Structure 1
Amino acid sequence: MIVTLTLNPSLDRTIEIGSLTRGAVIRAAAAHLDPGGKGVNVSRALLANRVASCAVIPFGGDQRRQLVDLLASEGIDMITVPVAGPTRSNVTLAEPDGTVTKINEPGTALSAAELDTIADAVLGAATSAGWVVASGSLPPEVPGDISRDHVRVTTADPALPLRSGG
């Protein structure tokens, strides 16, 4: 099994339009909503390839149930960690010629206590996992080396070299 961690999950709304004209009222041809965030996308891809995974995601705000319901409807195994701030939303405007314009919200800051609870959830899930994948953007005010610090804390040998991706 693979555990995925998405510290900054999202609700991704894609709106299909004829063309993007700044300042104009544009009628959508279609729209759909998907769960998002890089770690969430990894779990979705793993499921599509019949590889077991467990997504660890913080969720909050009025739209928190939407994210969980979308993931559950796809059959994603998950551990959810309630947080005070709202889950971010992203918007993609898709034109027929393949041009896409993305607008991604920054997300919400996570408190030290929330980060600790998330780390505990990852540790709990990782006891039966072969890999842990932490990927995606970080919420505001979360230090860029957060994953490396948590891995060092939980590694049997803190001197082991670690590889981190972008």
Structure 2
Amino acid sequence: MILTVTPNPSLDRTYEVPALDRGEVVRATGERMDPGGKGVNVSRAVAAAGVRTLAVLPLGGAPGALVARLLHEQGIEVSPVPVSGRTRSNIAVAEPDGTLTKINAPGPELTPAESESLLDAVGAHSAHADWIACCGSLPRGLAPSWYAELVARCHAAGARIALDTSGPALLAALAERPDVVKPNAEELAGAVGRPLATVGDAVEAAEELRARGARAVLASLGADGQLLVDAGGTHFASARVDVVRSNVGAGDSSLAGFLIAGGSGPRALASAVAHGAAAVQLPGSAMPTPADLSPDAVTGTTGIPLDRPLTEPA
């Protein structure tokens, strides 16, 4: 069972449009509504693969009730922590060329009592989890050290932790030695405080995060592929993608694929890349099922192309 923690979940509405013309009336050609937040997306991808998952998250107001209902409809177990504020609602606008415009609401401010209740809820279920995926930004009211506290408590209970966050929250948690951290190129550059222009730069940055406490680093490099740097060495994999429809949740799908495949080594990296590549070819924040995956499109190597320039330097 994979348990996910989403401190700042959302109700996500995605609209597909022919073009986004500022100041004009734009008619959508497609729309969908999904429960959102990085940990929620991981649970959705895990459930789509037929693996049991439990989502722990603070929920409030009518949007929160709708998030819980949508998760249940997707076969996801939910452990809601009631909060006084309303769960946020986000909007994404997707254009045919893959350009995505997102408007993310700030979300509620959690009280100290609600923060502690969220930690307690994770602890209550941690003994039954093969992995605990802690994902996303922290809502107002939670200090940057909140994830570090969560990692420490879960490790004390014997659980393995995958952490997907950024900024001060990521840096604070490294001291507690999360089992894997999953930054994208921009987050990786922010964590080490310098730009990344090549795959080699990303490898060096990932090694620095390991030196600061992370046991493994799974780094998404967008269209260039993904890196896994751990005690067993450095591995690189990429996949062919014909059409990009939406990259919402693609990184979360990658993390789900990595954990489903055991959470370590080249096999798990290949699963992460296959899940991410499948996700970007689906509309909105739809998560891939096994039928959507193309494992044969994934190419993995230990011969890292260190000099390859990143398509999108960070």
**What TM-score, normalized to structure 1?**
0.90
Letter in 2 for 1:132: I
Task: Give RMSD over aligned pairs.
Answer: 1.8
Post-superposition shift, 1:154? 5.0
Report the more deviating stretch, 3-12 or 136-145.
136-145
Shift of 1:134: 0.7
Q: Which structure 1 segments of 5+ residues have no match?
A: none
The AA in structure 1 aligned to 2:177 is L
**1:161 positional shift:** 4.7
The AA in structure 2 aligned to 1:16 is E
Does the C-alpha gap of structure 1 residues 130 and 61 become closer, same or farther in structure 2, counting only changes over 3 Å? same
Q: Deviations over 1:84-112 (max 9, x none)?
A: 11111111111122221111112111111
Counterpart in the other structure of 2:144: 144
Q: Which moved more, 1:126-135 or 1:67-76?
A: 126-135
Contact 2:112 2:141 in 1 (8 A): no
1:30 & 1:154 partners in 2: Cα distance? 41
Equivalences for residues 114-153 of structure 1 within 5 A: 114-153=114-153
Mapped to 2, the partners of 1:83 and 1:161 lie a distance apart of 27
State the distance in 2 between where 1:156 and 1:19 align: 51
1:124 is paired with a residue whose SS is: helix
Which segments of structure 1 move beyond 3 Å, counting only runs of 4 or more?
A: 153-157
- Total equivalences in the alignment: 164
Q: Is the Cα contact below 8 Å between 2:90 and 2:103 reproduced in 1?
A: yes
Distance (Å, rounded) in 2 between the aligned partners of 1:57 and 1:103:
21
Aligned equivalents of 1:19, 1:155: Cα separation in 2: 47
Aligned residue for 1:134, secondary structure, equals strand
Identical pairs, percent: 46
Counterpart of 2:270 in structure 1 is: none
- The reply to whether residue 162 of structure 1 matches residue 177 of structure 2 is yes
| Deviation of the 1:69 alpha carbon | 0.9
Whole-angstrom CA distance in 2 between matches of 1:90 and 1:156: 35
Q: Deviation digits for residues 91-145 of structure 1, max 9, x if unmatched? A: 1111122221111112111111001111111111112112211111111232122
Amino acid at match of 2:88: R
Give the alignment's TM-score, normalised by structure 2.
Answer: 0.49
Match of 2:13 in 1: 13
**Distance in 1 of aligned mates of 2:14 and 2:81:** 26
SS in 2 for 1:122: helix
